[in-house]
Amino acid sequence: MIKITILGNNSALPAYNRHPTSQVVDIEEQLFLVDCGEATQIQMQRYHIRRRRINYIFISHLHGDHYFGLMGLITSMGLMGRTAPLHLFGPPALQQIVDLQLQVATTVLPYPLHFTALEEGKAQILVDEASYKVESFPVEHRIPCHGFSFTHRHLQRRLLPEQCRHYEIPTAFFARLKNGEDYTRKDGLLVKNEWVTTAGTPDKKYVYCADTRTTDSFLPYILKADLLYHESTYLDNDQKKAFDRFHSTARQAAELAQKAGAGRLLLGHFSSKYQDLSLFYEEASQIFPDVEVSTEGITYEI
Ligand SMILES: [Zn+2]
Ligand SMILES: [Zn+2]
């Protein structure tokens, strides 16, 4: 299961109790922070996010509403005595920004901070572990910007308990069965794995599209996402403004979700000019019915 907790779903200005962008992706208790707008730490406290469990932070781009909370978080982690390495991914200039702020404050972090630059216009595999993978892909914004895709792999096969009993397989061997191994009994009978297991559940995919104009250019990276988070800074009557400012409307987000064959669509990054967000739902749901307007503090599960 992938769990996504929204910490901030507003665009540049905090408004109506909505905060600049940040969200936490949880895969098997490993927490990934995606963007870190101002107030992210306060939102983490409010929604009981365990900072120690965050080992990876991804910053989509260097507009302040996506990273002005980062220095506070990095230094708080140090003050809390963190020693585990922290992996930070973002545009190349982010390293200079972080280094300068640490340097002028003569702050020495008590933990290793590993920085990986997101290359402009390129897709990269950022994390590749047995049970999960994180990739970045370029989107179309006013400055270089990347979206992120999270895949939870289900490599393990599922046991068929009755068949396992029938072939008298000891429970101590079950973990190896889940990994696809055959079992040889003491009497020499080879029990083939497919006799006693079935395929596991399919991979789960969550995609965060960051700030972007609506475009097909990154469609290959978001195909068949179980859940797609797409910005909808504006409603469609502001389509020209959205285009000029490299943002999208709710209708455009819905059209892209449809093209991508997404399971569900989650809208976010709302302009502070809107107090009532129900129109975002109405507009998008006419095109893509499985849509939700994201709410801060809510955890969405795949
Ligand atoms: Zn933004
Ligand atoms: Zn932006």
CA of 54 to the centre of ligand 2 (A): 24
Q: Report whether 103 contacts 72 (CB < 8 A).
A: no
d(CA 229, CA 257): 9
Query: What is the CA(286)–ligand 2 centre distance, in A?
Result: 27
The model's confidence at residue 199, banded by pLDDT at 50, 70 and 90, is confident
Share the mean pLDDT of the chain: 96
The reported pLDDT for the residue numbered 200 is 82
Q: Give residue 92's pLDDT.
A: 97
What's the 11 CA to ligand 1 centre distance in angstroms? 5
**CA distances in angstroms from 253 to 8, 250, 266, listed in the order given:** 18, 5, 9
Give residue 201's pLDDT.
82
Give Cα 214 distance to the centre of its chain: 19
In the reported structure, the alpha carbon of residue 263 is separated from the centroid of ligand 2 by a whole-number distance in angstroms of: 26
Residue 65 designated active-site? yes
| DSSP letter, residue 20 | B
- pLDDT cut 90: percent of the chain above it: 93
Q: Please identify which of the residues 65, 203, 226, 236 carries the catalytic annotation.
A: 65
Nearest ligand (C-alpha, residue 268): 1
**Which position has the higher pLDDT, 13 or 33?**
33
CA of 141 to the centre of ligand 2 (A): 7
Output the CA torsion sign for 26, 32, 35, 40. positive
For 50, phi and psi rounded to 5 degrees? -85, 105
231 C-alpha to ligand 1 centroid (Å): 9
Nearest ligand, measured from the Cα of 269: 1
pLDDT band at 154 (very low <50, low <70, confident <90, very high): confident
Torsion sign (Cα): 174, 175, 176, 178: positive
pLDDT at 137: 98
- CA of residue 232 to ligand 2 center, whole Å: 12
Q: Which ligand is nearest to the CA of 140?
A: 2
Ligand nearest to the CA of 37: 1
